[in-house]
Structure 1
Amino acid sequence: MVTLAPYGSWESPLTAELAASGDGRPEYLGAVGDEVWWTAPRPTEGGRRALMRRRADGTEESVLPAPWNVRNRVHEYGGQPWAGVVTPSGPLVVFTDFADQRLYAVEPDTGGAPRPLTPVSATGGGLRWCEPVVRAELGEVWCVLEEFTGEGPTDVRRVIAAVPLDGSAAGDRTKVRELTDDSRRFVTGPRISPDGRQVAWITWDHPSMPWDGTELRVAAITADGTFEDARTVAGGPDESVAQAEWAADGSLIAATDRTGWWNLHQVDPATGEAVNLCPREEEFAGGLWKLGLRWFAPLASGLIAAVHGKGDTRLGILDPKTGDLADVPGSWTEWASALAVSGDRVTGVAAGPYTGHEIVELDTSTGHTRVVGAAHRDVVDPAYYPRPQHRTFTGPGGREVHAHLYPPHNPDFAAPEGELPPYVVWVHGGPTGQVPLVLDLELAWFTSRGIGVVEVNYGGSTGYGREYRNRLREQWGVVDVEDCAAAARALADEGLADPARLAVRGGSAGGWTSAASLTSPLTEGLYACGTVIYPILDLTGWATGETHDFESEYLVSLVGRLDEVPERFAERSPVNRAEQVRAPFVLLQGLDDVICPPVQCERFLERIAGRGVPHAYLTYEGEGHGFRRADTMISAVNAEMSLYAQTFGFEAPGVPVLELGQ
């Protein structure tokens, strides 16, 4: 029997605890012999990342007990934190632990405890390690070293370094061999050719971000394990090389956007001549937000496994000789940038509209796929999941705005005749990022209670080519705000959403767009309320030391140069437009966030005080940029729902009432 009840007041089996049950997806897949290993979120264990192992018999186990947290802080977002090889005594694994950022080695089958390989530094952010490659034959692990040279967030250098596996560098920094100099601000981990004679890596410098312009570098490896004759073979200020790998035959494959799309090219390491292996107006890579992302992986057979698509992504097998690309069948609409190869098997992380991220194996010899890890499990009847739709809205000037629509959905409830549902515009972070159309229990928590959601891949998002991505250049706070507003207004105009009950929410760069949308004249009166999560609120502050090194000059492309257009920085910043805020809002912030620090929220709230705008500010000890702990996420979704209930005028069953001050 279907019960009539106002939108937002519907009861749902999806609880706040279930909505908070995942703080992400499996990441950083790797093959250790015939086994697949990865890292997995553990929200109920203090938000740590566990290193998981799938044995040959199909059983999964956590390699290290709590509190080991296999995660690093390189670029603050972290990157590939582990690598492993098979030895006569079993797997040898090196990994970084989040607590002290040291590199450790462990042989789990021998019962030994992890032993440190690198020292601790008290200077600034210390020593950090990423993208390890175990060179057992040399007794070393090669990886990215991020080393702070002072107390400031930009007092940092990065090189490719070799760390002894015998532990001799655990107390002696001088035992670490540096394989590159620090003339480039950013480097990725080394990719070593099959014959061991060449190495490739990617570099870039401020003010470029890795999706703006990078260089693919190649060097010879000498007999004593040093690099010589380093040279640039691809890339430049207007060409982004996102990933490079050596194929089994010794050829170099790179994902570069020189055509306007990240396509796979075979690059001659001697001349730099490049051949597009599969010319398409599709992306075969994305934004390199974390070191170690892997969109493609060469197989021993010469074929290449490749994640590709426009918006949605698929896993395909590319024959580089013919350019033929055969896609893997299945209902998955997203394949993450995480591929591992062992023999003729390819393993990836995939999700769909009705399934969360799970680990899928493809046997290229048969074409068969199967889920081999982190299998999706329906925590409630799938009838309560949303029924998403692809939408393309029209923005200013007739431009396309890509989005995903999630109408309210609950089989037990319907709204009274004539009532239109409230809708929340979800704004993804980055802003050079993308939101996929996949099952998200936090989103389902809202739709199953009668609140619609529209996720907008506004101009500047990845997945739609460089031209779409470049729409945001110097237009942050304008194009993103306009595109999100276009989606909201279209839903109201189409009679799908209540124009008086629209909201906006987002975290990080999405928090910026949400706050900008509450203060911008472009959207005056559009949104009834907003949820702003660990946001950027003051561009001038963010450009002058209030963030980390990786993004410290990001605003050059997003806004302009501060010394040239200071008025633009001031005019667009929500902190300077606080008097424009009329709508109630909730502000959520981790107190350990060094990317979007609490000081920006505090500055904004000082200017809101006394203006009569209902709001709440919730802070969380021990949380950084991106909430990871179950109790934090439960608090956050309840606070957000309470804001909507109070603003939109419905009772939210089971949701604690959040006190909104003024």
Structure 2
Amino acid sequence: MTRQPRPCGTWPSPVTPSLACGKTVTLSGVSTSGDRVLWLERRPSEKGRTVLVLWQDGTEPRDLTPADVDVATKVHEYGGGAYAVQDNAIVFSNRIDGSVHLLDLEGAPQRRLAGGAALRYASFAFAPDGRTIFAVREDHRPDGEPVNTLVALGLAPPSETIIAAGADFYSTPTPSPDGTRLAWIEWDHPAMPWTSTRLCVMDLADPSSRRVLGGTARQESLTEPHWADPHSLLAISDRSGWCNLWRFDLTNGECAPVCPMDAEIGQPHWVFGQRSYALLPDGRVLALAVRNGQTQTILLAPNSDGYNVSPLALGLPEQCPCPFGEQFAWLDAPADAAPRVVVGTPGTPPRVLRAATTLPFGRDDIALPESIPFPLADGTPGHAFFYAPANSRYSMPYGELPPMIVTAHGGPTARAHEGFSFKVQWWTSRGFAVLDVNYSGSTGFGRSYRERLDGQWGVRDVEDCIAATTSMATSGRVDPQRIAIRGSSAGGLTVLSALASSDIFAAGVSLYGVTDLRTLAEETHKFEARYLDSLVGPWPDAEAVYRARSPLFMADRIHAPVLFLQGLDDTVVPPAQARSMVTALRKNGVTCPLVEFPGEGHGFRGEETLQRAFQIELAFYGRVFGFVPADVTLSDADTTLLNEVVATRQPS
């Protein structure tokens, strides 16, 4: 098909609002039990409700939870680990009221196990005999910070017992194969789980037997314990500078790396329920390894000298695949297709059980990631993914270069990844290029790269985004006069600070972004209450630094128009952050429309909200760059809101 030349930004796109926001579900939490595969589906068409789904061979996937249940949890606000399965039993959390329920796949009535006002549960694990369920409990009943503990939920008769308390945070209770011991991860303020945790174990018959196996003699992050046998544990540790697997011997207290490598196995523990490796019945280990920001499934096979490492062709899993008989089940998130739950074996096309959506277009309409190296200010290699415009029906007119959107990921302890995302394809299919930056502090590049942001948030992330943008602006592949920068949450702070630090950006978009570090330190939730100690400095001793790094006090240096998108129920970055920034910018004559969404928290969930946010942002860029998008429908109120935005830069 011959592509028709058409100005960038005006291309009619097959990525429609309903496709990107309504017909597309968010898939997560794949697990297996016997001949069953289970997963979670968050459905924008049902106001962001999450449903537990089950598949068995010979049947169609079916919903396990009723319409009045949202299988999710608010522990740490970010949740995760909202269900667990063993044999025929499933335990899950209902996000609506925090209650915990037991579901029997053989048809017994659903039972309520725990919950109540101001109680939240996550990170469930069945005891081997199935009579007890271990979980993390977050108790919001006391004044001040909520109290986190490990609890045991007895099933017959129903009971709830605190079995570990005193630490600020707990995660991943993991019973031993014989049911006599429990391992877990814990940590205290001001640490975050990716900076310093402890791997603990105790005899369940004697809570005073608690032992710390790792994390006391040095600052290291330990995550994802898994029993290799009744007397040894596997866990991920970054003590070598890389998140690798280590074996901990309970008999002699010794530990050793399983298979050292300059790659990351494991992700920052933002949510519960993460799975970066799986121990196979024959002693081999399946793992996801991230090297230079790119993900690969690997198999670790023991030999006389240690382990052989071999790659496995299992697509691009979001979490480590689960053993499923002679096959595996996993959530595949390739760069060229929508995420899908699949089963299969290495090197063969997998069977798709559920796709996030059906893409009504081919690969010529999909932008693929290109790894772009660039030098940071001190010569350290920087990392980013670049996506060129992609549309099978349209091309750029002769002499035009595409506008570019630079994306600063949230966290900031997180990473830009290479899997398919409508947050990229929405723009590239309309004639934009996208640059997704893994700035200093990003994960997947070793502990030293992550620690580059220690004490430097609002400095190095900003410098790196500017450096990556400058590299592309001088490459001849994008229009240097039409570059915008967007980011959510922590990425919003990077966006606003970058606008204050450089005129290379013609516009910015902040989605529920941080604007005042002082109020964030005082008002945010427990999990992140001391996060800024390492990123900025101890609060309130370093108040001068907090003020200097806050975009709110850089407003007089921002001249480009900024769009703010904010949920009114956000408890992580409250609405006052966006409102105060808008007030400061307007005093300086900066165009800065603010759109607030009732009922939305930190990260938008509802179909109507997502569609509206995407279209407002596209219309905003159209106003800034002087083009009329082909497929935007705005309400009169939103149109009026954007009328103040005028074109600042034209195609060069």
Q: CA deviation at 1:300?
A: 1.8
Other-structure match for 2:334: 352
Provide Cα deviations, 1:386-435, integer angstroms capped at 9, x if missing partner.
Answer: 13211111121212111110011222222222212110101111111012
Contact 1:160/1:189, CA 8 A, preserved across alignment: no
CA deviation digits over 1:609-657, x for unaligned, max 9?
Answer: 3432222111111111111111111011101101110001111012136
User: Please, which of 423, 428, 450 is the counterpart of residue 409 of structure 2?
Assistant: 428
Aligned in 2, Cα 1:549/1:320: closer, same or farther, shift over 3 Å?
farther
Indicate if the aligned counterparts of 2:172 and 2:224 stay in contact, CA closer than 8 A.
no
Q: Bigger shift: 37-46 or 236-245?
A: 236-245
Q: Give me the CA root mean square deviation.
A: 2.0
Following TM superposition, by how much is the alpha carbon of 1:47 offset from its aligned partner in structure 2, in angstroms? 0.3
Matches of 1:200 and 1:22, distance apart in 2:
41
The one-letter code sitting in structure 1 at the alignment partner of 2:549 is R
SS in 2 for 1:179: strand
**Structure 1 contact 248–300 (Cα < 8 Å) conserved:** no
Q: Which moved more, 1:553-562 or 1:349-358?
A: 349-358
Q: CA deviation at 1:56?
A: 2.8
1:344 deviates by 4.9
1:360–1:369 Cα contact (<8 Å) kept:
no
Distance apart, 1:530 and its partner CA: 0.8
The structural deviation recorded for 1:367 is: 7.1
1:541 aligns with 2:542: no
In the alignment, the residues of structure 2 paired with residue 437 and residue 529 of structure 1 have an alpha-carbon distance, to the nearest angstrom, of 25
1:337 Cα deviation after fit: 3.0
Q: How does 1:104-123 map to 2 (within 5 A)?
A: 104-110=101-107, 112=109, 114-121=110-117
Partner of 2:610: 633
Instruction: Say if 1:426 and 1:138 are closer, same or farther in 2 by CA, change over 3 A.
Output: closer
Return the alpha-carbon distance in structure 2 between the equivalents of residues 445 and 627 of structure 1.
16
> What is the correspondence of 1:413-492 to structure 2 with a 5 Å cutoff?
413-492=394-473
Higher mean C-alpha deviation, range 384-393 or range 420-429: 384-393
Match of 1:135 in 2: 127
Match of 1:99 in 2: 96
Cα displacement string for residues 157-198 of structure 1 (whole angstroms, at most 9, x for unaligned residues): 111111232574xxxxxx4111112x1111113111112222
Specify the SS of the correspondent of 2:548: helix
Counterpart AA for 1:420: L
SS of 1:453's partner is strand
Q: Residues of 2 paired with 1:23 and 1:358: CA distance?
A: 11
Residue 409 of structure 1 corresponds to which residue in structure 2?
390
User: Hey, what's the Cα distance between the residues in 1 that align with 2:278 and 2:342?
Assistant: 15
Please state if 1:227 is matched with 2:207. yes
2:19 and 2:451 map into 1 onto residues whose CA distance is 37
Match of 1:327 in 2: 311
Which residue of 2 is the match for residue 582 of structure 1? 559
Tell me the SS of whatever aligns to 1:76. Answer: coil
Residue 611 of structure 1: aligned partner: 588
- The corresponding residue for 1:171 is none
TM-score norm. by structure 2 comes to 0.93
2:533 paired with 1:556? yes
Structure 1 position 8, deviation (Å): 0.7
The correspondence for 1:196, drawn from 161, 175, 179, is 179
Q: Which amino acid aligns with 1:274?
A: C
Aligned to 1:79: 80
Matched, 1:361 2:333: no
Q: What SS does the aligned partner of 1:481 have?
A: helix
Who is 1:341 aligned against?
A: 323
- Separation of aligned partners in 2, 1:529 and 1:374: 38
Counterparts in 2 of 1:31 and 1:387: CA distance versus 1, 3 Å = closer
- Between 415-424 and 281-290, the greater mean CA deviation after superposition: 415-424
Alpha-carbon separation, structure 2, partners of 1:379 and 1:163 = 47
How far residue 141 of structure 1 moved from its aligned partner, in angstroms, is: 1.6
Residue 18 of structure 1 aligns with an amino acid whose one-letter code is L
- Conservation of the 8 A alpha-carbon contact between 1:585 and 1:643: no
* 2:299 aligned residue: 317
Secondary structure of the residue aligned to 1:595 is coil
Q: Secondary structure at the match of 1:402?
A: strand
Change (3 A) 1:482 1:253: same
What is the distance in 2 between the residues matched to 1:595 and 1:247?
A: 37
1:474–1:517 distance in 2 versus 1, CA, 3 Å:
same
Q: Which residue of 1 aligns with 2:168?
A: 185
- What's the counterpart of residue 354 of structure 2? 374
CA distance in 2, matches of 1:390, 1:76: 33
- Indicate if the aligned counterparts of 2:440 and 2:453 stay in contact, CA closer than 8 A: yes
- Please name the residue that 1:623 is paired with: 600
Q: Which amino acid is 1:282 matched to?
A: A
8 Å contact kept, 1:141–1:163: yes
Which blocks of at least 5 consecutive residues in structure 1 are unaligned? 169-174
The Cα shift of 1:4 comes to 1.8
Q: Match of 2:508? A: 530
- CA distance in structure 1 between the partners assigned to 2:258 and 2:71 by the alignment: 36
Asked if structure 1 preserves the Cα contact closer than 8 Å seen for 2:585 and 2:591, the reply is no
| Number of residue-to-residue matches in the alignment | 633
For 1:213 and 1:449, locate their aligned partners in 2 and report how far apart those are by CA, in whole Å.
Answer: 44
User: Is the counterpart of residue 654 in structure 1 residue 631 in structure 2?
Assistant: yes
